[in-house]
Amino acid sequence: MTRYLFGRFLQGAFVLWAAFTLSFVVLYALPSDPAAIMIGPSNSLTPAELAARRHELGLDRSLFEQYFGRLGDLLHGDLDRSVQSGQPVRELIGDALPQTAAITGLGLVVGVALGVGLAVAATLTHRRWLRQTLLTLPPLGVAVPSFLVGLLLLQWFSFRWQLFPAIGNSGWRSLVLPAVTISLQPAALIAQLLARSLDNELRQNYVDLARAKGAGPARVNVRHALRNAALPALTIAGILVGGLLAGAIVVEVVFSRNGLGRISQAAVDSQDLPVVQGVVLFGSAVFVAVNLLVDLLYPLLDPRIARDGGAARRAPEAVAVGPAPSVT
């Protein structure tokens, strides 16, 4: 397990380095003037003032010096400062994170509950028309953009029925519509994968044995088949959390909430490159952490994965070689 964790740590470090390098190339190394971009229209600045600003931002150094300088700062936990406000990027993200985390966490809970409930209901029913109706809902949830869902929920539940506030960060009621908005696509993916996986598990011999012992359909699905069927859905948890985080950033703009979405929008509008790069690196770090957590959860759901000392390293491959559930 120690070797496995060390290997996963190295993989995560490589992902973060790749995200940093790619964002640096896109934001700083392209044939443009980052100083002019971050300062804004430079026609009001004299060449001497622009050169002084470039020196202040460290942009008068060579590209390699800038790259390794920023990489060294990152290794020490320094994400630089916002060009517009002068506040450290780490503090900006830390101040906005609780609001975004609240939406993302509640959206994950709602998405998992909806996806699992829909998949179990579709596999429990014996009515073919009802099963087909339930299984047509996930593709619809994947196809509809989250911002459109948010606008529809605003129209119905805020403006027409006035059940939830349309904007702001006040109270738990302001979390409901944003969380539901970002939960629909993860719920749809979970339902698609879990329904296909449950169908496969329900054809296994141990399920027939449980039925022979008198277990009812609900007990067979939830108690016996669901645990094994959850592995493929758990495999995409990293993608789901990344999608939830990205969705939360978009939804915060739609619902006018203070969070990473508002910071990202302001940074893009003002071309505040250190903040943009900081948000990119934070999202990459969340993706790495969630994928590591998922790998550690595999043996808890299926002890066969860790029955020998090195089997934990084969957890992703053990899931990948099975029947690949369709997500279309």
Report the SS3 class of residue 264: helix
Domain chopping of the chain, boundaries: 89-320
What's the confidence (pLDDT) of residue 104? 87
Establish how many alpha carbons lie within 13 A of residue 93's alpha carbon, considering only the half-sphere containing its beta carbon. Answer: 21
Residue 148 structure tokens? 């459109």
Placement of tokens 């506040």 in the chain: 87
What's the confidence (pLDDT) of residue 213? 72
Indicate the burial class of 123 (C-beta count within 10 angstroms; 0-12, 13-18, 19 or more). buried
pTM score: 0.71
What's the confidence (pLDDT) of residue 315? 39
CA distances in angstroms from 37 to 54, 79, 261, listed in the order given: 11, 19, 21
What's the confidence (pLDDT) of residue 302? 62
Report the distance separating Cα 105 and Cα 113, nearest Å.
Answer: 12
Which tens digit of pLDDT belongs to each residue from 308-321? Answer: 444 444 333 333 33
Residue 14: how many other CB atoms lie within 10 Å: 11
What's the confidence (pLDDT) of residue 305? 58
Report the distance separating Cα 45 and Cα 316, nearest Å.
Answer: 55
What's the confidence (pLDDT) of residue 312? 40
Residues comprising the chain, all counted:
328
Question: Mean pLDDT by 10-residue block, N- to C-terminus, for the chain (328 residues)?
Answer: 77 88 80 63 66 75 84 84 81 87 87 85 79 78 77 84 78 83 85 82 73 71 72 73 78 82 81 84 85 74 54 38 36
Superfamily of domain 89-320: MetI-like (1.10.3720.10)
